[in-house]
């Protein structure tokens, strides 16, 4: 498939497809996960600890949560009322899933937080 055909296909997919693809196929063991609460606080930080995602039919049947899940070893997790406030807003951090690369603006903001 040509690059222009791939680009055209990418443009026609729903916006969530990229997130789902990343969640299912790109996340790897030991990738760091940050559970953000909007742009100004963090609920937890951990690492992916299993190589693949799982479909959890029970969650779907109960309609209480997403039915595609990842196993995370949480190094730090907070209740909502004790969430970690950030000194700098994560402006632009507005996606369900976002890959944060080293030495980017998001990386620097998150690196300054005392998470452990």
User: Which pLDDT tens digits describe the chain residue by residue (116 residues)?
Assistant: 666 655 655 566 776 777 778 878 888 898 888 877 778 888 888 888 988 888 877 776 766 667 778 888 888 777 778 887 887 777 777 666 667 777 887 777 777 776 55
Structural domain boundaries enclosing 97: 15-111
* Domains held by the chain: number: 1
The whole-number pLDDT of residue 76 equals 76
How high is the mean pLDDT of the chain? 76
| Residue 37, pLDDT score | 79
In a domain, 5, yes or no: no
Q: Which two tokens stand for residue 96?
A: 């369900």
Residue 7 forms part of a structural domain: no
* Dihedral angle, C-alpha 54, 60, 65, 67, nearest 10 °: 20
Whole-structure pTM value:
0.64
51 within a domain of the structure (yes/no): yes
């Amino acid at each position: 498939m040509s690059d222009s055909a791939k680009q055209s296909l990418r443009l026609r997919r729903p916006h969530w497809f990229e997130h789902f693809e990343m969640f299912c196929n790109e996340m790897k063991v030991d990738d760091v996960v940050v559970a953000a609460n909007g742009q100004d606080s963090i609920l937890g930080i951990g690492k992916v600890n299993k190589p693949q995602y799982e479909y959890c039919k029970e969650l779907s049947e109960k309609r209480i949560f997403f039915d595609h899940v990842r196993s995370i070893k949480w190094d730090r997790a907070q209740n909502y009322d004790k969430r970690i406030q950030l000194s700098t807003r994560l402006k632009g951090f507005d996606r369900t899933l976002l890959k944060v690369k080293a030495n980017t603006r998001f990386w620097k903001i998150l690196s300054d937080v005392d998470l452990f």
